[in-house]
Chain A
Amino acid sequence: MFHWTIWAGIIVGLATVVLSIIYTVLKDEQKEKIKNWFLQPEEGA
């Protein structure tokens, strides 16, 4: 039985766990690249 209250809550928790793993395995340079990608507009934009 699908119940959004349960599943959406669980998905948020699971996503946090996945994020923690990504954060840990990424190298600092890669994190920097992602940060810059978010913070700086594309050239010519």
Chain B
Amino acid sequence: MLFQLDLTGMVAFWIMFIGYLVFLAVAGLYAKKKTKTLEDFMVAGRKIGPILLGLSFGVTYFSAVMIVGGGQFSWLWGIGVVWVASIDVLVGVFLVFILFGARTKRLGAHFESMTMSQFLSKRYQDPKLQTFTSVVILVFETIYLVSIYMGLSLLLSVTMADLGDIAYLIAVIICGAITVIYLNVGGAHGAIFTDAAESIIMLVGVLLIFGFGIAAVGGLTGFLTGLGQIESAELTTGALTTFTGAGGFGVIGYILVTSFGVWGMPQMITRFYTAEKGKSRTIKWGLVISCVWAFIVAIFAWFNGAIARSLFFQTDPATYATVAAGKGASAVPYLMIAVLPPILVGLFMAAIVAASLTTGEKVIMMAASGFSIDVYQKKTGASDDKTLKITRITTTIIVVVAVILALTKPAAVLALCMFAWAAMAATTLIPYVFGLFWKGGTAKAALWSGAIALIMAILWFILFRSGAPDFWAAFGLVYPSILGDIASIQIFEYTLGDLSTVTITLGSIHEFIISQVAALIAFPLISHFTKGSKPSGEFISEIFKIMKTKETDR
């Protein structure tokens, strides 16, 4: 358990949480009125305007997990993580909108695709691609959901500490039940409404923690002085106050993964399918709204862990030791307790729980459609109405499975959680990006480059990454020491600017980067040798024309 809320905090938490449930009920009923067809359920009828699109994109990217998780990285790596925030906004938001937004929206509407797998199979004219990618998405999104539920329920169970061990059980069931009811009623419309609410909650929460935190630590000067003292006492000069600081290549790798990873995430890319059809303003203004929101939230959220470290080091050695023992994972919750009035701690914790539920909603929709649309409808040719019913049933089944797994915590599933999103994004990114910009790509190249990327991501993780020993242990195996020796082979070392020495070892390279390099080489190469599986020239000309067709706002 992370920490204990006091009575005021607990009351504030439950008032806020119940308030959120009331909001869900109202938003769900409103969304229900707008949800009549499968297209309404999956992509909100392709009618979402710029404000909701921009906020929904931002929130899907920087989910509430970042408020707590981001804090851990800045506790460990210091202020250099401000670059994670900036590059994420540049590559993960700005470039995604500019490069892929309009093209994905136009082609998605032309193909009438509601899932990423459908989009890829229609682009490359190969149904096998739909089956393959949908199975990958179904499996890994479900696993990803388990990790969301586990984190969420741990937080929620803190508010029911008196109930003991049963608190976690109740928390998991509450999370699952709320999601099933809300999603079945409101579909994509409902998910987007909750995104908008979450975006406001996150913005206010992050700014409050930052504002109270920086004031408590004595402003920017006190903040940096504290980090300097920690460097002198425990680390080396510049470890917390430079780029890359103590993180070394880890920071650069993290920047690459969190920014480029978005390019292949189904729940991110499908945001563009919801944009209103035939109007150019949605993507253009959605871009501005998303960039502004993401910049503010990311910059401040990434600072909070470092603020906690500086504050506790200077004022509260006991808390400092506790958080440091957990490698900074609880930095932000402890900072909240230390600097916010109890009522705000309770309110904000409820907000984090609520916001994480929203993140789970989209993950479930991706997983459910992976079966209902990409497998069931494709195989049986069922009508949209029938498929909508199956989607709702699948949604329920996936949540039940995720709840059971979150409760039983099988070691193998926990191990898979470690690279669920990387495996998913690795599979779809290269076929998707090449599909939008290169006329020469073939169906076989899309299928095999995706498969190669997936295999590379999994193999690299289980052989060389720092989480590998835990993965092997989950299956009752001992991680061979020779693999550890290979992982620690130093590739090169350099000194960055005035400050930190960056050492790159084989095992420090993220599996996502390795998988994408492999796919980047494989895709054009396989395309060259499999020209027979290329869609017809006529079809290619037509879709590239559609992608470039300008829209008006009349």
Q: Mark A residues whose CB is within 8 Å of B.
A: 1, 3, 5-6, 8-10, 12-14, 16-17, 19-21, 23-24, 28
- A1/B224 contact (C-beta < 8 A), A9-B243, A13-B86, A23-B98 known: yes
**Residue pair A5, B94 in contact (C-beta under 8 Å):** no
Partner of A14, one of B80, B245, B295: B295
B299 interfacial contact with A, CB 8 Å:
yes
Task: For residue A5, give the distance in angstroms from its CB to the closest CB of chain B.
Answer: 5
Task: For residue A17, give the distance in angstroms from its CB to the closest CB of chain B.
Answer: 5
Q: In the complex, A21→B243 CA distance in Å?
A: 28
Number of A-B contacts (CB under 8 A): 66
Q: In the complex, A43→B430 CA distance in Å?
A: 39
Q: Mark B residues whose CB is within 8 Å of A.
A: 79-80, 82-83, 85-87, 89-90, 93-94, 97-98, 220-221, 224, 241-243, 245, 284-285, 287-288, 291-292, 295, 298-299, 550
Chain B interface mostly: helix
**Residue pair B79, A6 in contact (C-beta under 8 Å):** yes
Q: In the complex, A20→B283 CA distance in Å?
A: 11
Task: For residue A44, give the distance in angstroms from its CB to the closest CB of chain B.
Answer: 32
- A16/B241 contact (C-beta < 8 A), A5-B79, A28-B550 known: no
Contacts beyond the supplied A9-B86, A12-B90: 11 A-B pairs with Cβ under 8 Å? A1-B220, A1-B221, A9-B82, A9-B243, A10-B299, A13-B89, A16-B86, A20-B287, A20-B291, A23-B284, A28-B550
**Residue pair A5, B82 in contact (C-beta under 8 Å):** yes
Chain A interface mostly: helix
Partner of B287, one of A1, A3, A24: A24
Q: In the complex, A37→B245 CA distance in Å?
A: 40
**Residue pair A16, B90 in contact (C-beta under 8 Å):** yes
Q: In the complex, A10→B299 CA distance in Å?
A: 8
Task: For residue B383, give the distance in angstroms from its CB to the closest CB of chain A.
Answer: 40
- A17/B295 contact (C-beta < 8 A), A6-B79, A6-B82, A12-B86 known: yes
Most B CB within 10 A of own CB, among A1, A8, A14: A1
Interface pairs (23), CB distance under 8 Å: A5-B80, A6-B79, A9-B83, A9-B85, A9-B86, A9-B243, A10-B82, A12-B83, A12-B86, A12-B87, A12-B90, A13-B82, A13-B86, A13-B295, A13-B298, A17-B295, A20-B291, A20-B292, A21-B288, A23-B98, A23-B284, A24-B287, A24-B288
**Residue pair B241, A5 in contact (C-beta under 8 Å):** yes
Partner of B242, one of A5, A12, A14: A5
Q: In the complex, A18→B298 CA distance in Å?
A: 16
Task: For residue A13, give the distance in angstroms from its CB to the closest CB of chain B.
Answer: 4
Task: For residue A38, give the distance in angstroms from its CB to the closest CB of chain B.
Answer: 15
Contacts of A20 in B (CB 8 A): 94, 97, 287-288, 291-292
**Residue pair A17, B89 in contact (C-beta under 8 Å):** yes
Task: For residue B529, give the distance in angstroms from its CB to the closest CB of chain A.
Answer: 33
**Residue pair A3, B89 in contact (C-beta under 8 Å):** no
Contacts of A12 in B (CB 8 A): 83, 86-87, 90
Task: For residue B123, give the distance in angstroms from its CB to the closest CB of chain A.
Answer: 25
Contacts of B94 in A (CB 8 A): 16, 19-20
Q: In the complex, A17→B242 CA distance in Å?
A: 24
- A3/B291 contact (C-beta < 8 A), A16-B86, A23-B98 known: no
Can you name the residue of chain B whose Cβ is closest to the Cβ of A24?
B284
**Residue pair A16, B79 in contact (C-beta under 8 Å):** no
Can you name the residue of chain A whose Cβ is closest to the Cβ of B281?
A24
**Residue pair A13, B288 in contact (C-beta under 8 Å):** no
**Residue pair B86, A10 in contact (C-beta under 8 Å):** yes
Q: In the complex, A6→B94 CA distance in Å?
A: 21
Contacts of B287 in A (CB 8 A): 20, 23-24
Partner of A24, one of B224, B243, B285: B285
Q: In the complex, A14→B94 CA distance in Å?
A: 12
**Residue pair B241, A3 in contact (C-beta under 8 Å):** yes
Q: In the complex, A16→B98 CA distance in Å?
A: 12
Q: In the complex, A4→B86 CA distance in Å?
A: 14
Can you name the residue of chain B whose Cβ is closest to the Cβ of A9?
B82
